[in-house]
Structure 1
Amino acid sequence: MRVMGVDPGLTRCGLSLVEGGTGRSVVALDVDVVRTPADLELAERLLRIADAAEYWMDTHKPAVVAIERVFAQHNVRTAMGTAQAGGVVALAAARRGIGVSFHTPSQVKAAVTGNGSADKAQVTTMVTRILGLQTKPTPADAADALALAICHCWRAPMLERMAYAEAAAAEQRKRYEARLRQVRKARKEAGTR
C-alpha cells in the first residue's frame, strides 16, 4: 500500500510517501517540506500547500493520504492554520478519489515509538530506524510526515478489520430485529384467533 503522509502546517507542511509491504515492512520513497512565508496572504499560503500536495498525488499516485488530525493546541491561531492546511490537502485527495485517513499525534507516536507521549526526538529516531535511513530526516516536519505514513500502514489493517466487524455486527443485529418482529407479529396474530 502506497501512503502519503502529511504533517500539516502553514509555515512548514511535511509531505512523505512510503510503501507498506507485508507485516510491518515499510520503505520510504520520498519526503519533503513545503514552506510558505508568514508575510503571504493566507489564501496564497494555502494555495501553495494545495499545489504541492496535488503535484505529489498526481506524481506518486498514493492509495491513501494520512493526515495528522488537529487534536488540541494551546495556540488557537496555530491550530486554525494547521487545520486549514490539512483541509486543503484532504480536499485535493477527495477530488482525485484518494482515500483520506486522519490520525491524532498520540496515535502516531504510539504506533511508531510505543509511547503516545513520545517527544519529537524519539519519533525521529524511531522513524530513522524503522525505515533504515542513513541520516535522520529534517526538519521535524519531514520526520512527522514519515511517521504518519508509517502509522497508517500499520493501523490500516486493524481499522479495516474493525470496520468489517462493526458492519457484520450491524447486519446481524438487523437480521435479529427483523426475526424478532416476525415472531411478535406471529404471536399477535395467533392471539387474535
Structure 2
Amino acid sequence: MRWLGIDPGLRTTGFGVIELEGQQLRYISSGIIESGEVALGLPHRLGTLYQGVQEVLLRYQPDAAAIEEIFLNVNPRSTLMLGQARGAVIAALVSTGLSVSEYSARGIKQAIVGTGRANKTQMQEMVKRLLKLKKSPSPDAADALGVAICAAHHHQVQMTKAKR
C-alpha cells in the first residue's frame, strides 16, 4: 500500500511517499512544496499549496494519505494561518477521493522516535534509519515521512485486529 504523508505549513509543506509491503517499508520520494513570497498574498499562496499537493498526487498515485494535526501556537495569527494552509492541503487530498488520516505531532514523534518530545534532528535520523536512506531528508520532508510511516503502521495494526 502506498502512503502519502504531509507536514503542513504555510511557507513550506513537506511531503513523503512510502510503500508498506508486508513488514517492509520502502521509500518512494519526499520533498517540499513552497507557497511563494508573502507579497503574493494568502489566497495565492494557498492555491499554490493546493496545486502542489495535486501534482504530488498525480505523480505518485498514493492509496491513502495522512496529515499532521494542527497544534496551538503562542501566536493565534500563526495558528490561524497554519490552519488555512492545512485546509488547502486537505481539500487537495480529498478532492481526488483519497482517504485522509490525521495524527498529532506528539503521537507521530512517539511512534517514530519513541518519545513525543523528539526534536527535528532525532526525527530525521530515525526516518533515515527506518527507510534505510543514505542521507537524512530535510526536516519538513522527514516529518512528512514520519507521518506516512505512522499512518502505515497504524493501518497495519488495524488490519491485523480486523483479521482476528
Amino acid across the alignment from 2:67 = I
Closer, same or farther in 2 for the Cα pair 1:160/1:76, shift >3 Å?
Answer: farther
Q: What SS does structure 2 have at the residue aligned with 1:39? A: helix
Query: Is residue 33 of structure 1 aligned with residue 35 of structure 2?
Result: no
Task: Work out the CA distance in 1 between the residues paired with 2:134 and 2:153.
Answer: 22
Q: What SS does structure 1 have at the residue aligned with 2:51? A: helix
Q: What SS does structure 1 have at the residue aligned with 2:79? A: helix
Task: Work out the CA distance in 2 between the residues paired with 1:114 and 1:8.
Answer: 22
1:11-56 CA distance string (max 9 Å, x none): 1110111111212x21111111111222221000000000010011
Q: What SS does structure 2 have at the residue aligned with 1:118? A: coil
Taking every aligned residue pair, what percent have the same amino acid on both sides?
31
Pairing of 1:51-130 with structure 2 (within 5 A) = 51-130=51-130
1:127-159 CA distance string (max 9 Å, x none): 011111111111x11111111111111112334
Bigger proportion of residues as strand: 2
Task: Work out the CA distance in 2 between the residues paired with 1:19 and 1:81.
Answer: 31
Bigger proportion of residues as helix: 1
2:18 equivalent in structure 1 = 18
Task: Work out the CA distance in 1 between the residues paired with 2:133 and 2:103.
Answer: 23
Amino acid across the alignment from 2:154 = R
Task: Work out the CA distance in 1 between the residues paired with 2:158 and 2:89.
Answer: 22
1:8 equivalent in structure 2 = 8
From the CA coordinates, give the structure whose radius of gyration is larger: 1
Task: Work out the CA distance in 2 between the residues paired with 1:7 and 1:54.
Answer: 15
Task: Work out the CA distance in 1 between the residues paired with 2:120 and 2:77.
Answer: 21
Over the aligned positions, Cα root-mean-square deviation in angstroms equals 1.7
1:68-125 CA distance string (max 9 Å, x none): 1003222222222222122112112212110001110011101101111111111111
Task: Work out the CA distance in 1 between the residues paired with 2:25 and 2:19.
Answer: 6
Task: Work out the CA distance in 2 between the residues paired with 1:161 and 1:128.
Answer: 26
Gaps spanning 5+ residues in structure 1: where?
165-193
Amino acid across the alignment from 1:59 = R
Task: Work out the CA distance in 2 between the residues paired with 1:83 and 1:21.
Answer: 33
Task: Work out the CA distance in 2 between the residues paired with 1:38 and 1:5.
Answer: 25
Q: How many positions carry a matched residue from both structures? A: 162
1:187 equivalent in structure 2 = none
Task: Work out the CA distance in 2 between the residues paired with 1:129 and 1:141.
Answer: 17
